[in-house]
Structure 1
Amino acid sequence: MIILGISAFYHDSAACLVQDGKILSAAQEERFTRKKHDFAFPSNAIRFCLEDNNLTASDLDFVVFYDKPFIKFERILETYLAYAPVGIQSFIKAIPLWIKQKLWMKELIKKELGYDGKILFTEHHESHAASAFFPSPFQEAAFLTLDGVGEWATAGFGTGKDNQIRIQAEIHFPHSLGLLYSAFTYYTGFKVNSGEYKVMGLAPYGEPKYKDLILSELMDLKDDGSFRMNMKYFNYCAGLTMTNKRFERLFGGPPRKPESRLTQREMDLARSVQEVTEEVMMRMARHVHRETGQRNLCLAGGVALNCVGNGRILREGPFDNIWIQPAAGDAGGALGAALFVWYQYLENERTCDNKKDFQQGSYLGPKFENGVIEKYLDQNRMVYTFVSDEEIPDRISDLIADEKVIGWFQG
């Protein structure tokens, strides 16, 4: 049984091929197009997955998409209607793409793949949960998914056991930890859905001067980690920006201009939202432990890429073990959707040893051996020096000692 999972049209489009429960290949579209976080339909990634395993679309038993476009479209329409006439510019920009392309996912898949078989759809946070639990080493575990937004859900938790996952509770849009973090990503001058890791990296250089202000004005955080956001400060529901003028007045000025000089203010803002994020993650983890009674926790969703927050859950949280989907963002949704079909939809057996996961080190994409690299360099008449594997450690350590910058490509 061969299953192709697809994620597309938000960010980090990807494809994943699963055969009888084993992950054969997986890749993000950006690796082929050289467009960071490419959100286009992953034609190149799909082609790689099939060709890498000597397969064609006719060999596929199922194709599964990682969320449900019609439910997501319902959320978008309801949100625009709730804020109308505010948001007309955003509406005009967004809706044509939905009408022309995003709603016709079955037809698009059939056309792009030349495929006439069965096409399935999982919910967005089901895909995240499946990507967290099914490749994990645990026969039974709790899971926690956190991101910007799927169809309606922005966070969820539940339990996985054997070949089934069950979502027990969710937080819904517009209340979103991921979108809160993205709002500060935008406000500190970085690109949304791309520069969040820069905010996390900037945080240690600042002080949490605005933490109390965030918790008192921007969100109402409960003991169990659930929260509601004060939407009067945000613009992402119907606007073209993440924050508004009230947000700017609250934090004392306009957003930083991209690529301009970073100041202590941005460092303090980063530290503040990072500490708030960690606090929410810790409260949620404790609540999930109380509700499920599980010893193991699996994490996925874009917020699960916040390794500082994950580290706190590992060190200070109530769980004995945690396992994090390496492709925790939307790219991993392709993998999760495919595994969901194999285990939960088709009810195939799943057996774990609670030690070794099924992710295969995430070495699932294109490989480039020495001969391939050398052929490319020769064809393009590039100057190079061949260094044997035995020579590399000494050569690299000498360069580092000389304070040189190393660019490393391997695999």
Structure 2
Amino acid sequence: MLVLGISAFYHDSAAALIRDGEILAAAQEERFTRKKHDPDFPANAIRYCLSEAKASAAAVDRIVFYEKPFLKFERLVETYLAFAPNGFASFRKAMPLWIGEKLFQRDLLIRALKEIDPALGDKAKLRFSEHHFSHAASAYFPSPFRDAAVLTMDGVGEWATTSAAVGEGESLKITKEIHFPHSLGLLYSAFTYYTGFKVNSGEYKVMGLAPYGEPRFVKEIFEHLVDVKADGSFRLNQDYFGYSTGLTMTNSRFDDLFGGPARSAADPLDQRHMDLAASVQAATEEIVLRLTRALAAEAGASRNLCLAGGVALNCVANGKILRDGRFDNIFVQPAAGDAGGALGAALAVYFDEKPAGAQKSVKKPDAMQGAYLGPSYEQADIEARLTAAGAVFSVVDDDHLIEKTAAALAAEQAVGWHQGRMEFGPRALGNRSILGDPRSPTMQKALNLKVKYRESFRPFAPSVLRQDVSDWFELDVDSPYMLLVAPVKSERCRKMSDAEEALFGIDKLNIQRSDIPAVTHVDYSARVQTVHEETNPRYHALISRFKALTGCPVLINTSFNVRGEPIVNTPEDAFRCFMGSEIEFLAVGNCILIKDQQNPALKLDYKNAFELD
């Protein structure tokens, strides 16, 4: 049974294709259109999935959309009626769009599918899955567990914002939900907006900024904004928020509570903003821990936990769930946000219809194949594409590729690394990555300001050989998707002096805190990716060679893009980003490119090429 899953029309549109429960391909539309968080119908991603699977459109048995538009329309109308006459302006703006387009999404989808291939336009094949069920399915069915508790948390789907489910074998059932407007994701997004970052993309920045601050506003959050029960269930006080009735996340009462208006993106960050970030992060962690502890305490509860939804990308909270010890094993869907809903929708319908022989995968480490589910390029194709782009390159064998790249990294060069199949989800995991030497005390700042063109406080993740992770970090489990934060081992750390501790916020960034300062955050933590030979032998070989040269089995790994740009997809994307930034060394397949050997006329200015995220 061949099932195509689709997510679209909000943000991070994507497509995924499964055959008999096995994941064949998945990709976000933004990687093809080069439009960050592209919400449009994922025509390019669908074409890619069919091509990767060598499947005709006629062979597709089911096409599944990741949510139910009528339920979402119901929420819009009921929310307006609940708050009327407040919010009429936003209701008036939204209603024509919903009536003209989204309410009749079935017809819109059929038309868009027919444009790809008329065989995809069969209405009898089209199904709809509820938003949070899609999230839950995306986490449970690819997990390595035969049973699990499943927790999904995000902004909002149709009505649900948080859901708990139980997975047993091929069965998945949602057992309870929290509904809009009470949303942990929207609480976090309110602080994202208030601290001057863009909602639905800037939440990572708030999480990265939090360790620079003190959580001194937690009391205000719990006394005024959110009422949390012992089991983690919660309600948000709508007197302080604008998202239900207006066009902003927060309102003047929120401003009064926290000492002023929302920060403009152009305004400098000060200690108050860092303290606000620390406070909402601490509050989020407390709520999430109450939720997971309550799930673990239920009669007959599984010792396995699966997580999905945008809040599951909060890797700091995930690390605390792991260390809390209520669950023995945790699996987080690497494409936990809306993109992963496409995959979950396909899996949900497959296991709902249960064709003969349908069995849930229990593969180790999981069925996501390292999240390497996107396009790859044959060596001859890479050479032709780079030649057409005007690139100057040499072609080397596998051994020389690893040797020369490891030597460039040991020489503290910024390396672009484009190999194999592109990752599905928001993280580059060693196939579309910018790499660096984590031992360098200046590399974090240099990569942020000169390569990524983004805020200097943004942390980088370490990629570490799985067999060496416990020697460098307080972690000894698989973390292939960079979704767990753990402390750096104390013996690898250097204690800051009293004078260094007294430094203001981001001034602490330049203090060398460990043997791997470029990936050690100011609180001595790191967002760890374990690298496994089974899922990525070439990246594993590179880190192994770097270890042989330096004694360090760790590399800086950040996504191959500049701020505001989607992660690179094609060899041409990689070359343009290479020429538009200060990356010094580029490896695409078995092609090696050195910056000072390139035609200077091809240099680009990527610093201002993309809308800031």
Q: Does 1:228 align with 2:235?
A: yes
Q: 2:286 aligns with which of 238, 255, 279?
A: 279
Q: 2:302 aligns with which of 277, 290, 294?
A: 294
> Quick check: 343-352 or 277-286, which moved more?
343-352
Unaligned residue ranges in structure 1 (runs of 5+):
none
After superposition, the Cα gap between the structure-2 partners of 1:400 and 1:210, relative to the gap in structure 1 and judged at 3 Å, is farther
Residue in 1 that maps onto 2:217:
210
After superposition, the Cα gap between the structure-2 partners of 1:248 and 1:386, relative to the gap in structure 1 and judged at 3 Å, is farther
User: Which aligned pairs between 1:97-246 and structure 2 lie closer than 5 A?
Assistant: 97-114=97-114, 115-116=121-122, 117-246=124-253
Q: Distance in 2 between matches of 1:400 and 1:95?
A: 54
Which amino acid is the alignment partner of residue 406 of structure 1?
Answer: V
CA contact (8 A) 2:308 2:332 kept: yes
Residue in 2 that maps onto 1:34:
34
Q: Does 1:340 align with 2:348?
A: yes
Query: Deviation digits for residues 229-279 of structure 1, max 9, x if unmatched?
Result: 111110001211101111111100111111432211111111110111111
Larger relative contact order, structure 1 or 2 (CA cutoff 8 Å, min sep 6) = 1
Query: Deviation digits for residues 302-325 of structure 1, max 9, x if unmatched?
Result: 100001101111111300101111
Residue in 2 that maps onto 1:303:
311
* SS class of match (2:25): strand
Q: Does 1:321 align with 2:298?
A: no
Which amino acid is the alignment partner of residue 192 of structure 2?
Answer: T
Residue in 1 that maps onto 2:90:
90
Residue in 1 that maps onto 2:72:
72
CA contact (8 A) 2:66 2:134 kept: yes
User: Which aligned pairs between 1:50-61 and structure 2 lie closer than 5 A?
Assistant: 50-61=50-61
CA contact (8 A) 1:139 1:354 kept: no
Which amino acid is the alignment partner of residue 331 of structure 2?
Answer: W
Query: TM (normalized to structure 1)?
Result: 0.95
CA contact (8 A) 1:138 1:355 kept: no
Q: Distance in 1 between matches of 2:61 and 2:361?
A: 25
Which protein shows a greater Rg? 2
CA contact (8 A) 1:286 1:317 kept: no
Residue in 2 that maps onto 1:8:
8
After superposition, the Cα gap between the structure-2 partners of 1:110 and 1:296, relative to the gap in structure 1 and judged at 3 Å, is same
> Quick check: 111-120 or 165-174, which moved more?
111-120
Q: Does 1:21 align with 2:15?
A: no
Q: Distance in 1 between matches of 2:69 and 2:196?
A: 31
Q: Distance in 2 between matches of 1:352 and 1:332?
A: 17
After superposition, the Cα gap between the structure-2 partners of 1:214 and 1:392, relative to the gap in structure 1 and judged at 3 Å, is farther
* SS class of match (1:311): helix
Q: Distance in 1 between matches of 2:220 and 2:402?
A: 49
Deviation at 1:59, TM superposition (A): 1.5
> Aligned residue pairs: how many?
411
Q: Distance in 1 between matches of 2:206 and 2:279?
A: 10
Unaligned residue ranges in structure 2 (runs of 5+):
115-120, 421-613
Q: 1:380 aligns with which of 384, 389, 414?
A: 389
Residue in 1 that maps onto 2:374:
365
* SS class of match (1:189): coil
CA contact (8 A) 2:139 2:333 kept: yes
CA contact (8 A) 1:286 1:318 kept: yes
Q: Does 1:263 align with 2:273?
A: no
* SS class of match (1:407): strand
* SS class of match (1:262): coil
* SS class of match (2:416): coil
After superposition, the Cα gap between the structure-2 partners of 1:354 and 1:5, relative to the gap in structure 1 and judged at 3 Å, is closer
After superposition, the Cα gap between the structure-2 partners of 1:407 and 1:119, relative to the gap in structure 1 and judged at 3 Å, is same
After superposition, the Cα gap between the structure-2 partners of 1:392 and 1:213, relative to the gap in structure 1 and judged at 3 Å, is farther
**What do you get for the CA RMSD once the two structures are aligned?**
1.8
Q: Distance in 1 between matches of 2:265 and 2:216?
A: 22
Q: Distance in 1 between matches of 2:319 and 2:359?
A: 28
Residue in 1 that maps onto 2:445:
none
Residue in 1 that maps onto 2:486:
none
Deviation at 1:379, TM superposition (A): 1.1
Deviation at 1:369, TM superposition (A): 3.7
After superposition, the Cα gap between the structure-2 partners of 1:17 and 1:210, relative to the gap in structure 1 and judged at 3 Å, is same
CA contact (8 A) 2:141 2:360 kept: no
Q: Distance in 1 between matches of 2:48 and 2:337?
A: 20
> Quick check: 240-249 or 355-364, which moved more?
355-364
CA contact (8 A) 2:151 2:165 kept: yes
CA contact (8 A) 2:29 2:43 kept: yes
Deviation at 1:382, TM superposition (A): 3.1
CA contact (8 A) 1:163 1:347 kept: no
**Same amino acid, percent of matched pairs:** 60
CA contact (8 A) 1:57 1:113 kept: no
Q: Distance in 2 between matches of 1:256 and 1:400?
A: 38
Q: Distance in 2 between matches of 1:160 and 1:347?
A: 18
Which amino acid is the alignment partner of residue 326 of structure 1?
Answer: P
Which amino acid is the alignment partner of residue 107 of structure 2?
Answer: E
Q: Distance in 1 between matches of 2:209 and 2:415?
A: 22
Query: Deviation digits for residues 185-211 of structure 1, max 9, x if unmatched?
Result: 111111100111111111111110111
Deviation at 1:83, TM superposition (A): 2.3
Which amino acid is the alignment partner of residue 25 of structure 2?
Answer: S
Deviation at 1:398, TM superposition (A): 5.0
> Quick check: 350-359 or 166-175, which moved more?
350-359
> Quick check: 304-313 or 355-364, which moved more?
355-364
CA contact (8 A) 1:282 1:317 kept: no
Q: Distance in 2 between matches of 1:378 and 1:89?
A: 54
Which amino acid is the alignment partner of residue 20 of structure 1?
Answer: D
> Quick check: 109-118 or 265-274, which moved more?
109-118
* SS class of match (1:126): helix
Q: Distance in 2 between matches of 1:151 and 1:66?
A: 11
